[in-house]
């Protein structure tokens, strides 16, 4: 069992008894604000993550500045994470703009190359306090062949080799979940999660949280090594719900178009979606709370303000 990382972000993610997080994909300041409002309403800290597509189009400095300022205002902790990045140059960009954690996804490469790429990124992040997430096995898209989730399941031997030979802080092991909308319910390999916990304390990130039942979330959260559950498609669907409701209420009609009502509807659906997920954390009693007061704002770099 090896210790993981240091600094304020590591304390939140990595402490063996710390509370797990939901990580919501955002693509704009507006979507970030709605999720942060939901986090404040639920009384839970949160991870905001950007896909590579969103990261490339965002004003990174402004997003970093907004998240830092708004989390202080709402008295919560929020962390920025770069999700599924295959390009070390873009990871370097995220580090320079103050993202709190980054994911290098070299899972499509042979194990040895995945290890080498992960260690390259770990060296880039060394001394910055920024955490590195890496993937083992392959987490496919839910709309792909139904057998893909099973064929991509991480092998315990590969996980042991990967953990032994890398300095990654967070492990996204393929355990049966997929990205996107499921056709039916996935078969989650809870036994693999337990096997991992038996030989390492590395925190696990579970991708593909959209479409899981509350019971599945709570079973995942009952495992103390599950520290991060990703939600992306649910965020997009909540955004769509806001648009659809605006259409039904006439807020988007040619004669009655009201952009403020449309934005309000979208915000409210995003906020409600976040609250509903985050409240599940209160039902899990296996972790200590890691609210903002536990770590103190003074540990957050002032130059990001």
Q: What is the pLDDT of residues 1-16, one digit of tens each?
A: 233 333 356 555 555 5
Average pLDDT (264-279) is 97
Instruction: Transcribe 175-240 into DSSP letters.
Output: SS--BS--SS-----HHHHHHHHHH----EEE---TT--HHHHHHHHTSTTEEEEEE-HHHHHHHH
Q: What is the pLDDT of residues 114-165, one digit of tens each?
A: 999 999 999 999 999 899 999 998 776 665 554 555 778 899 999 999 999 9
Give the global pTM: 0.87
CA-based torsion, 30, 32, 35, 37: positive or negative: negative
- What distance in Å separates the CA atoms of residue 184 and residue 107, rounded to the nearest whole number? 25
Average pLDDT (82-96) is 96
Q: Which residues does residue 50 pair with via DSSP β-bridges, in sequence order?
A: 82
CA–CA distances in Å: residue 237 to residues 208, 232, 246, 288: 14, 9, 14, 31
Contact 42, 35 (CB under 8 A): no
């Amino acid at each position: 069992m090896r210790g993981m990382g240091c600094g304020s972000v590591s304390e939140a993610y990595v402490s063996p008894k710390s509370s797990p997080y939901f990580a919501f994909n955002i693509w704009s300041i507006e979507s970030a604000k709605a999720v942060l409002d939901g986090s404040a309403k639920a009384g839970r800290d949160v991870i905001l993550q950007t896909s590579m597509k969103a990261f490339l189009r965002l004003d990174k400095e402004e997003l970093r500045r907004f998240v830092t300022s708004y989390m202080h205002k709402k008295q919560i902790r929020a962390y920025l994470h770069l999700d599924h990045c295959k390009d070390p140059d873009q990871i370097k960009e995220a580090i320079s703009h103050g993202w709190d954690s980054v994911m290098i996804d070299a899972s499509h490469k042979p194990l040895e190359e995945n290890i080498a790429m992960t260690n390259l990124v770990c060296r880039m992040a060394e001394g910055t306090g920024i955490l590195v997430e890496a993937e083992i096995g392959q987490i496919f898209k839910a709309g792909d062949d139904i057998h893909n989730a099973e064929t991509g399941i991480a092998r315990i031997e590969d996980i042991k080799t990967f953990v032994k030979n890398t300095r990654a802080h967070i492990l996204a092991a393929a355990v049966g979940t997929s990205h996107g909308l499921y056709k039916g319910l996935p078969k989650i390999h809870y036994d693999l999660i337990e096997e991992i916990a038996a030989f390492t304390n590395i925190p696990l990130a579970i991708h593909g949280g959209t479409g899981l039942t509350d019971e599945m979330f709570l079973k995942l959260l009952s495992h103390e090594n599950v520290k991060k559950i990703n939600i992306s498609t649910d965020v997009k669907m909540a955004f769509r719900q806001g648009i659809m409701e605006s259409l039904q209420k006439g807020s988007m009609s040619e004669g009655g178009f009201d952009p403020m009502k449309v934005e309000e509807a979208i915000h409210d659906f995003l906020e409600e979606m976040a609250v509903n997920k985050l409240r599940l954390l209160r039902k899990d009693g296996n972790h200590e709370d890691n609210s903002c007061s536990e770590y103190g704002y003074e540990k957050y770099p002032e130059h990001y303000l």
